[in-house]
Amino acid sequence: MDTKSISSMKKLSLGNAALKCLIACDPEEKIKATHNVVQLWKAECLEVNFTINCLPNIPGRPMRPTLVAPRKLSTRKLTSAAGRAALIHAITHIEFNAINLAWDAVCRFHGLPKAFYDNWIQIASEEAYHFCLLDTYLHSLGYKYGDFPAHNGLWEMAQKTAHDPLVRMALVPRVLEARGLDVTPGMVDRLQQAGDLQAVAILKIIFRDEVGHVAIGSHWFHYLCKIRGLDPETTFCHLVTRYFKGKAHSSLHRQARLEAGFSESELHMLENIK
């Protein structure tokens, strides 16, 4: 961004700048806006203040992909290029939603330490990087973002947790995003067997960064529990059983989850939830 552009945005609040990222519909526009706001934040050109009275229930997104119920998504066979493209597209969609989730956290939750906004701006930047890696790879396969249907489960949970940052930190990073820590190693193995080494390399980058993202969620969940005088393990168990039904869809990647701030007690609870 040139000096003139930076100068023209100096008086923007962080909340207003983040909102521009959140409501951008075109993926390229959202990525560009994200990069610009990250640069402004690092240059200390934005203030931590918020003048937004109402946030959109639905973030900016393109007309495609078509959103369907998870059960309507077809099984992806990695023995074909189309099957691998469908899998990569599903992950690309998750990363696009993750950009929106990061900016929503910045816009929505006020009065938290500056480090909270540092962390979620960092996450927005890394999710945008992941999206670009995946989108570029999709193009190399002859596809683009929007060519396959997708589900909206991640954003639906964002809506359910919009009322409280403690609930958001517990259920989005520590449940939905943490599931990626469990399933990604298996996807890496399947892609390796299919000989798709480029996809393997991208997923390894995403896995590395996502451990850190879940750890950030864990940190702020514990912070909010502490200032409210709540026991984090009891609170997490209560929230999981309240908002989710049935067992996890896969076995837990215990080491990754421990690195991301889970306790042994929490892992035991997740493994035995009914």
Domain ranges of the chain: 79-271
Which pLDDT band holds residue 69 (cuts at 50, 70, 90)? confident
- What is the pTM assigned to this prediction? 0.92
Spatial distance between the Cα atoms of 153 and 151, rounded to a whole number of angstroms: 6
Which residues lie closer than 8 Å to 244 by C-beta, 6 or more apart? 171, 175, 273
Beta-bridged to residue 13, according to DSSP, are 47
Comparing 63-72, 88-97, 186-195, the range with the smallest average pLDDT is 63-72
Helix (H, G, I), strand (E, B) or coil at 67: strand
Which pLDDT band holds residue 10 (cuts at 50, 70, 90)? low
Which pLDDT band holds residue 205 (cuts at 50, 70, 90)? very high
Q: Which fold has domain 79-271?
A: Ferritin (1.20.1260)
Which pLDDT score, from 0 to 100, does residue 164 have?
A: 97
Comparing 73-87, 127-141, 163-177, 200-214, the range with the smallest average pLDDT is 73-87
Q: Are 216 and 261 in contact (CB under 8 A)?
A: no
Q: What is the pLDDT of residues 210-252, one digit of tens each?
A: 999 999 999 999 999 999 999 999 999 999 999 987 655 568 9
Q: Is the pLDDT of residue 22 over 60?
A: yes
DSSP 75: P
Which pLDDT band holds residue 3 (cuts at 50, 70, 90)? very low
Q: What is the pLDDT of residues 105-150, one digit of tens each?
A: 999 999 999 999 999 999 999 999 999 999 999 999 999 999 999 9
List, in sequence order, every beta strand (DSSP E) within the chain. none
User: Distance of alpha carbon 156 from its chain centroid, rounded?
Assistant: 13
- Per-position b or e across 147-167, b if 16+ CB within 10 A of its CB: ebbbbbebbebbeebbeebbb
